[in-house]
Structure 1
Amino acid sequence: MDTALTFTLVVGIGATVALDVWARQLRRWLGIAGADWGLVGQWLSGLPAGRLVHTSDGFEIPSRGERALGWTFHYLVGLVYAAAYPLVWGTGFLATPSPGPFVLVGFGLSTLAGLCVLTPAMGGGLFASRTSDQGRRIALILLNHAVFAGAQYALALGLVTRPT
Protein backbone atom coordinates (compact mmCIF):
# COMPACT_ATOMS: atom_id res chain seq x y z
CA MET A 1 0.00 0.00 0.00
CA ASP A 2 1.21 3.51 -0.78
CA THR A 3 2.99 5.21 2.15
CA ALA A 4 0.91 8.41 1.95
CA LEU A 5 -2.32 6.42 1.82
CA THR A 6 -1.28 4.27 4.79
CA PHE A 7 -0.31 7.40 6.72
CA THR A 8 -3.63 9.08 5.91
CA LEU A 9 -5.68 6.06 6.93
CA VAL A 10 -3.79 5.29 10.15
CA VAL A 11 -3.37 8.88 11.32
CA GLY A 12 -6.80 10.06 10.13
CA ILE A 13 -8.84 7.21 11.55
CA GLY A 14 -6.59 6.60 14.55
CA ALA A 15 -6.56 10.21 15.76
CA THR A 16 -10.32 10.48 15.27
CA VAL A 17 -10.81 7.32 17.33
CA ALA A 18 -8.52 8.78 20.01
CA LEU A 19 -10.63 11.94 20.05
CA ASP A 20 -13.80 9.86 20.39
CA VAL A 21 -12.32 7.80 23.24
CA TRP A 22 -11.26 11.04 24.94
CA ALA A 23 -14.79 12.46 24.54
CA ARG A 24 -16.28 9.29 25.99
CA GLN A 25 -13.94 9.50 28.99
CA LEU A 26 -14.86 13.16 29.56
CA ARG A 27 -18.50 12.13 29.65
CA ARG A 28 -17.74 9.29 32.08
CA TRP A 29 -15.41 11.29 34.35
CA LEU A 30 -17.01 14.73 34.30
CA GLY A 31 -20.42 14.36 32.68
CA ILE A 32 -19.34 16.54 29.73
CA ALA A 33 -21.30 15.67 26.61
CA GLY A 34 -19.32 15.45 23.39
CA ALA A 35 -20.40 16.43 19.91
CA ASP A 36 -23.73 15.05 18.76
CA TRP A 37 -22.85 13.71 15.31
CA GLY A 38 -26.52 12.97 14.64
CA LEU A 39 -27.25 16.69 14.83
CA VAL A 40 -24.32 17.32 12.51
CA GLY A 41 -25.92 14.82 10.13
CA GLN A 42 -29.17 16.77 10.33
CA TRP A 43 -27.27 19.96 9.52
CA LEU A 44 -25.56 18.30 6.55
CA SER A 45 -28.92 16.97 5.35
CA GLY A 46 -30.33 20.49 5.40
CA LEU A 47 -27.53 22.08 3.38
CA PRO A 48 -28.97 21.19 -0.07
CA ALA A 49 -32.20 22.96 0.97
CA GLY A 50 -30.21 26.06 1.89
CA ARG A 51 -30.35 25.60 5.68
CA LEU A 52 -26.85 26.73 6.61
CA VAL A 53 -27.47 26.79 10.36
CA HIS A 54 -29.00 23.98 12.41
CA THR A 55 -31.69 25.38 14.66
CA SER A 56 -34.02 23.84 17.18
CA ASP A 57 -37.02 24.98 15.09
CA GLY A 58 -38.95 21.85 14.21
CA PHE A 59 -36.26 19.83 15.96
CA GLU A 60 -36.56 16.09 15.69
CA ILE A 61 -34.37 13.40 17.15
CA PRO A 62 -31.75 12.53 14.51
CA SER A 63 -32.61 9.50 12.42
CA ARG A 64 -30.25 6.56 12.00
CA GLY A 65 -29.31 7.89 8.59
CA GLU A 66 -28.53 11.33 9.97
CA ARG A 67 -26.41 9.80 12.72
CA ALA A 68 -24.55 7.70 10.14
CA LEU A 69 -24.03 10.77 7.96
CA GLY A 70 -22.69 12.79 10.91
CA TRP A 71 -20.29 10.06 12.02
CA THR A 72 -19.12 9.50 8.45
CA PHE A 73 -18.50 13.23 8.08
CA HIS A 74 -16.55 13.24 11.38
CA TYR A 75 -14.22 10.48 10.17
CA LEU A 76 -13.87 11.95 6.66
CA VAL A 77 -12.76 15.23 8.20
CA GLY A 78 -10.16 13.32 10.24
CA LEU A 79 -8.91 11.73 7.02
CA VAL A 80 -8.74 15.10 5.26
CA TYR A 81 -6.62 16.56 8.06
CA ALA A 82 -4.29 13.56 7.87
CA ALA A 83 -4.04 13.82 4.08
CA ALA A 84 -2.87 17.42 4.46
CA TYR A 85 0.54 16.36 5.82
CA PRO A 86 1.86 14.48 2.79
CA LEU A 87 0.08 16.91 0.43
CA VAL A 88 1.55 20.06 1.99
CA TRP A 89 4.86 18.85 3.46
CA GLY A 90 5.57 16.04 0.98
CA THR A 91 6.09 12.35 1.46
CA GLY A 92 9.55 12.96 2.93
CA PHE A 93 7.82 14.41 5.99
CA LEU A 94 6.28 11.00 6.67
CA ALA A 95 9.73 9.54 7.38
CA THR A 96 10.67 12.32 9.79
CA PRO A 97 7.50 13.89 11.22
CA SER A 98 8.03 16.95 13.39
CA PRO A 99 5.52 18.45 15.81
CA GLY A 100 5.12 21.84 14.09
CA PRO A 101 2.79 20.73 11.28
CA PHE A 102 0.64 18.80 13.76
CA VAL A 103 0.29 21.89 15.92
CA LEU A 104 -0.59 23.92 12.82
CA VAL A 105 -3.09 21.49 11.22
CA GLY A 106 -4.15 19.04 13.92
CA PHE A 107 -4.55 21.70 16.57
CA GLY A 108 -4.74 25.14 14.94
CA LEU A 109 -6.70 24.47 11.76
CA SER A 110 -9.03 21.92 13.33
CA THR A 111 -9.74 24.24 16.28
CA LEU A 112 -10.50 27.16 13.98
CA ALA A 113 -12.75 24.96 11.85
CA GLY A 114 -14.63 23.89 14.96
CA LEU A 115 -15.03 27.42 16.27
CA CYS A 116 -15.60 29.20 12.94
CA VAL A 117 -17.48 26.60 10.88
CA LEU A 118 -19.04 23.78 12.89
CA THR A 119 -20.04 25.73 16.02
CA PRO A 120 -21.75 28.49 13.99
CA ALA A 121 -23.36 25.86 11.73
CA MET A 122 -24.85 24.21 14.80
CA GLY A 123 -26.30 27.53 15.99
CA GLY A 124 -23.61 28.37 18.53
CA GLY A 125 -22.28 31.42 16.70
CA LEU A 126 -18.75 32.34 15.71
CA PHE A 127 -16.36 31.31 18.49
CA ALA A 128 -19.40 29.98 20.42
CA SER A 129 -20.62 33.58 20.86
CA ARG A 130 -24.28 32.52 21.02
CA THR A 131 -23.77 30.06 23.84
CA SER A 132 -24.26 30.68 27.54
CA ASP A 133 -20.90 29.10 28.35
CA GLN A 134 -18.61 30.48 25.63
CA GLY A 135 -15.37 30.31 27.64
CA ARG A 136 -15.99 26.73 28.74
CA ARG A 137 -16.84 25.65 25.19
CA ILE A 138 -13.73 27.27 23.74
CA ALA A 139 -11.57 25.69 26.44
CA LEU A 140 -13.10 22.28 25.75
CA ILE A 141 -12.58 22.63 21.99
CA LEU A 142 -8.95 23.63 22.59
CA LEU A 143 -8.40 20.65 24.88
CA ASN A 144 -10.12 18.20 22.53
CA HIS A 145 -8.14 19.37 19.54
CA ALA A 146 -4.89 19.20 21.50
CA VAL A 147 -5.71 15.53 22.13
CA PHE A 148 -6.46 15.08 18.41
CA ALA A 149 -3.18 16.70 17.33
CA GLY A 150 -1.20 14.76 19.92
CA ALA A 151 -2.73 11.51 18.68
CA GLN A 152 -1.92 12.44 15.08
CA TYR A 153 1.71 13.08 15.97
CA ALA A 154 2.03 9.92 18.10
CA LEU A 155 0.54 7.81 15.31
CA ALA A 156 2.81 9.44 12.72
CA LEU A 157 5.83 8.64 14.86
CA GLY A 158 4.59 5.07 15.24
CA LEU A 159 4.55 4.67 11.47
CA VAL A 160 8.19 5.72 11.03
CA THR A 161 10.25 2.74 9.93
CA ARG A 162 13.32 2.41 12.11
CA PRO A 163 16.49 1.02 10.53
CA THR A 164 17.38 -2.44 11.85
Structure 2
Amino acid sequence: MGDVAAFILVVGIGSTIVLDLWAWLVAKTTGMAGTDWGVVGRWLLDIPSGRVVLDSRPDRPAPGGREKTVGWLFHYLVGLAYAMLILLVWGVDYIADPKVVPVFWVGVVISSLAGLLILMPGLGGGILGRKLPNQAAIIAYVIIAHIAFAAGQYVFANLVVSL
Protein backbone atom coordinates (compact mmCIF):
# COMPACT_ATOMS: atom_id res chain seq x y z
CA MET A 1 0.00 0.00 0.00
CA GLY A 2 2.95 2.31 0.64
CA ASP A 3 4.01 2.03 -2.99
CA VAL A 4 0.53 3.00 -4.13
CA ALA A 5 0.39 6.04 -1.84
CA ALA A 6 3.92 7.10 -2.85
CA PHE A 7 3.05 6.70 -6.53
CA ILE A 8 -0.13 8.77 -6.23
CA LEU A 9 1.57 11.52 -4.24
CA VAL A 10 4.78 11.74 -6.29
CA VAL A 11 3.15 11.37 -9.70
CA GLY A 12 0.08 13.46 -8.88
CA ILE A 13 1.89 16.38 -7.29
CA GLY A 14 4.99 16.19 -9.47
CA SER A 15 3.11 16.17 -12.78
CA THR A 16 0.84 19.00 -11.62
CA ILE A 17 3.93 21.06 -10.80
CA VAL A 18 5.23 20.32 -14.32
CA LEU A 19 1.91 21.57 -15.72
CA ASP A 20 2.15 24.73 -13.62
CA LEU A 21 5.74 25.35 -14.71
CA TRP A 22 4.68 24.90 -18.34
CA ALA A 23 1.81 27.38 -17.89
CA TRP A 24 4.19 29.86 -16.24
CA LEU A 25 6.70 29.50 -19.09
CA VAL A 26 4.01 30.00 -21.73
CA ALA A 27 2.67 33.05 -19.91
CA LYS A 28 6.16 34.57 -19.62
CA THR A 29 7.12 33.93 -23.25
CA THR A 30 3.82 34.52 -25.05
CA GLY A 31 1.65 36.50 -22.65
CA MET A 32 -1.07 33.83 -22.92
CA ALA A 33 -2.33 33.41 -19.38
CA GLY A 34 -3.08 29.96 -18.02
CA THR A 35 -5.98 28.94 -15.84
CA ASP A 36 -6.87 31.36 -13.05
CA TRP A 37 -7.34 28.92 -10.17
CA GLY A 38 -9.04 31.61 -8.10
CA VAL A 39 -11.77 31.82 -10.75
CA VAL A 40 -12.02 28.03 -10.70
CA GLY A 41 -12.41 28.19 -6.92
CA ARG A 42 -15.19 30.75 -7.32
CA TRP A 43 -16.94 28.48 -9.81
CA LEU A 44 -16.62 25.46 -7.51
CA LEU A 45 -17.93 27.41 -4.52
CA ASP A 46 -20.91 28.61 -6.59
CA ILE A 47 -21.95 25.11 -7.71
CA PRO A 48 -23.72 24.14 -4.43
CA SER A 49 -26.03 27.13 -4.85
CA GLY A 50 -27.13 25.81 -8.25
CA ARG A 51 -24.86 27.85 -10.52
CA VAL A 52 -23.05 25.33 -12.74
CA VAL A 53 -21.74 28.05 -15.05
CA LEU A 54 -19.59 30.77 -13.54
CA ASP A 55 -21.24 34.13 -12.94
CA SER A 56 -18.71 36.27 -14.74
CA ARG A 57 -20.34 39.67 -14.44
CA PRO A 58 -17.66 42.35 -14.80
CA ASP A 59 -18.75 44.04 -11.55
CA ARG A 60 -17.70 41.06 -9.41
CA PRO A 61 -14.51 41.57 -7.43
CA ALA A 62 -11.40 39.55 -8.22
CA PRO A 63 -11.32 36.13 -6.54
CA GLY A 64 -10.30 36.30 -2.90
CA GLY A 65 -8.13 34.09 -0.74
CA ARG A 66 -10.75 31.45 -0.07
CA GLU A 67 -11.55 31.10 -3.77
CA LYS A 68 -7.87 30.91 -4.68
CA THR A 69 -7.24 28.28 -2.00
CA VAL A 70 -10.17 26.15 -3.17
CA GLY A 71 -9.08 26.47 -6.80
CA TRP A 72 -5.47 25.50 -6.15
CA LEU A 73 -6.48 22.61 -3.87
CA PHE A 74 -8.85 21.38 -6.55
CA HIS A 75 -6.10 21.62 -9.18
CA TYR A 76 -3.72 19.47 -7.13
CA LEU A 77 -6.44 17.02 -6.05
CA VAL A 78 -7.27 16.47 -9.71
CA GLY A 79 -3.58 15.74 -10.36
CA LEU A 80 -3.69 13.15 -7.57
CA ALA A 81 -6.91 11.70 -8.99
CA TYR A 82 -5.31 11.26 -12.42
CA ALA A 83 -2.37 9.41 -10.83
CA MET A 84 -4.88 7.19 -9.04
CA LEU A 85 -6.79 6.64 -12.28
CA ILE A 86 -3.67 5.23 -13.94
CA LEU A 87 -3.47 2.58 -11.21
CA LEU A 88 -7.20 1.88 -11.22
CA VAL A 89 -7.24 1.21 -14.96
CA TRP A 90 -3.79 -0.33 -15.54
CA GLY A 91 -3.30 -1.90 -12.12
CA VAL A 92 -0.70 -1.50 -9.40
CA ASP A 93 1.84 -3.44 -11.48
CA TYR A 94 2.20 -0.19 -13.44
CA ILE A 95 4.20 1.18 -10.50
CA ALA A 96 7.06 -1.26 -11.14
CA ASP A 97 7.06 -0.85 -14.93
CA PRO A 98 5.63 2.48 -16.14
CA LYS A 99 4.60 2.67 -19.79
CA VAL A 100 3.83 5.66 -22.00
CA VAL A 101 0.37 4.56 -23.21
CA PRO A 102 -1.41 4.94 -19.82
CA VAL A 103 -0.02 8.44 -19.25
CA PHE A 104 -0.96 9.37 -22.81
CA TRP A 105 -4.58 8.29 -22.22
CA VAL A 106 -4.91 9.77 -18.76
CA GLY A 107 -2.53 12.73 -18.97
CA VAL A 108 -3.34 13.92 -22.48
CA VAL A 109 -6.67 12.52 -23.68
CA ILE A 110 -8.78 12.32 -20.50
CA SER A 111 -7.39 15.44 -18.83
CA SER A 112 -7.66 17.54 -22.01
CA LEU A 113 -11.23 16.40 -22.58
CA ALA A 114 -12.11 17.13 -18.95
CA GLY A 115 -10.73 20.63 -19.32
CA LEU A 116 -12.48 21.28 -22.62
CA LEU A 117 -15.80 19.58 -21.83
CA ILE A 118 -16.24 20.28 -18.09
CA LEU A 119 -13.99 23.07 -16.83
CA MET A 120 -14.20 25.33 -19.89
CA PRO A 121 -18.02 25.28 -20.06
CA GLY A 122 -18.23 25.69 -16.29
CA LEU A 123 -16.11 28.82 -16.52
CA GLY A 124 -18.39 30.20 -19.26
CA GLY A 125 -16.24 29.45 -22.31
CA GLY A 126 -18.62 26.87 -23.75
CA ILE A 127 -17.89 23.33 -24.84
CA LEU A 128 -14.45 23.18 -26.44
CA GLY A 129 -14.16 26.94 -25.85
CA ARG A 130 -16.68 27.71 -28.62
CA LYS A 131 -17.65 30.99 -26.94
CA LEU A 132 -14.08 32.26 -26.88
CA PRO A 133 -12.64 34.44 -29.66
CA ASN A 134 -9.46 32.35 -29.81
CA GLN A 135 -10.98 28.85 -29.66
CA ALA A 136 -8.35 27.10 -31.78
CA ALA A 137 -5.50 28.63 -29.77
CA ILE A 138 -7.18 27.61 -26.49
CA ILE A 139 -7.66 24.02 -27.66
CA ALA A 140 -4.03 23.85 -28.80
CA TYR A 141 -2.89 25.34 -25.49
CA VAL A 142 -4.88 22.80 -23.48
CA ILE A 143 -3.56 19.84 -25.49
CA ILE A 144 0.06 20.99 -25.37
CA ALA A 145 -0.18 21.77 -21.65
CA HIS A 146 -1.54 18.29 -21.02
CA ILE A 147 1.24 16.75 -23.08
CA ALA A 148 3.60 18.44 -20.60
CA PHE A 149 1.44 17.07 -17.75
CA ALA A 150 1.60 13.53 -19.19
CA ALA A 151 5.37 13.82 -19.64
CA GLY A 152 5.53 14.79 -15.97
CA GLN A 153 3.43 11.76 -15.06
CA TYR A 154 5.82 9.48 -16.94
CA VAL A 155 8.98 11.04 -15.52
CA PHE A 156 7.68 10.95 -11.96
CA ALA A 157 6.33 7.40 -12.39
CA ASN A 158 9.85 6.35 -13.35
CA LEU A 159 11.22 8.27 -10.37
CA VAL A 160 8.99 6.21 -8.08
CA VAL A 161 10.49 3.04 -9.57
CA SER A 162 13.95 4.23 -8.62
CA LEU A 163 13.00 5.08 -5.01
Q: Are positions 1:67 and 2:68 aligned together?
A: yes
RMSD (Å) for aligned C-alpha atoms: 1.2
Q: TM-score, normalised by structure 2?
A: 0.96
In structure 1, what is the Cα distance between the partners aligned to 2:162 and 2:43? 41
Q: CA deviation at 1:161?
A: 3.6
Q: CA deviation at 1:26?
A: 0.9
Gaps of 5+ in 1: none
Q: CA deviation at 1:27?
A: 1.1
Question: After alignment, is 77-86 or 56-65 more displaced?
Answer: 56-65
Q: Are positions 1:130 and 2:99 aligned together?
A: no
The answer (yes or no) to whether the contact 1:95–1:161 under 8 Å persists in 2 is no
Aligned residues: 162
**What is residue 32 of structure 1 aligned with on the other side?**
32
Q: CA deviation at 1:152?
A: 0.3
**What is residue 99 of structure 1 aligned with on the other side?**
100
Q: CA deviation at 1:85?
A: 1.6
**What is residue 143 of structure 2 aligned with on the other side?**
142
Question: After alignment, is 24-33 or 145-154 more displaced?
Answer: 24-33
In structure 2, what is the Cα distance between the partners aligned to 1:156 and 1:130? 37
Q: Which amino acid aligns with 1:56?
A: S
In structure 1, what is the Cα distance between the partners aligned to 2:162 and 2:47? 43
Runs of 4+ more than 4 Å apart = none
In structure 2, what is the Cα distance between the partners aligned to 1:20 and 1:127? 21
Q: Which amino acid aligns with 1:13?
A: I
Q: CA deviation at 1:55?
A: 2.8
The percentage of counterpart residues that share the same residue type is: 43
In structure 1, what is the Cα distance between the partners aligned to 2:77 and 2:124? 22
Gaps of 5+ in 2: none
1:1-164 aligned within 5 A: 2-57=2-57, 58-161=59-162
Q: TM-score, normalised by structure 1?
A: 0.95
